[in-house]
Copies of this chain bind each other. A is one copy, B any other.
Amino acid sequence: MKNIILASASPRRRELLEKLRIPFEIRVSDVKEIITKTVPAEIVEELSLQKALAVAETEPDALVIGADTMVASDETVLGKPKDKEDAAAMLKSLQGKSHQVYTGVTLTWMGEKEREIRTFSEASQVFLYPMTEEEIQRYVDTGEPMDKAGGYAIQGLFAVYVKGIAGDYNNIVGLPVARLYQELKKNGIVILPANE
Interface string of A159-174 (1 = CB under 8 A from B): 1111111111110000
Q: Which of A3-11, A29-37, A106-114, A175-183 contacts B (4 or more CB under 8 A)?
A: A175-183
Is A141 at the interface (CB under 8 A from chain B)?
A: yes
Chain B minimum-CB-distance residue to A144: B196
Interface string of A134-168 (1 = CB under 8 A from B): 11001101111000000000111101111111111
How many A residues touch B, CB cutoff 8 Å?
Answer: 39
Residues of B within 8 A of A76 (CB): none
Tell me whether B138 and A193 are in contact (CB under 8 A). Answer: yes
Tell me whether B169 and A165 are in contact (CB under 8 A). Answer: yes
Tell me whether B182 and A129 are in contact (CB under 8 A). Answer: yes
Tell me whether A159 and B20 are in contact (CB under 8 A). Answer: yes
Query: Given the known A-B contacts A157-B20, A167-B164, A168-B164, are A142 and B177 also in contact in the complex, defined by CB atoms under 8 Å?
Result: no
Tell me whether A192 and B161 are in contact (CB under 8 A). Answer: no
Name 6 interchain pairs, CB-CB below 8 A, sorted by A: A19-B157, A142-B193, A157-B193, A159-B178, A165-B165, A165-B168
- Chain A residues engaging chain B, CB cutoff 8 angstroms: 16, 19-21, 124, 129, 134-135, 138-139, 141-144, 154-157, 159-170, 177-178, 180-182, 192-193, 195-196
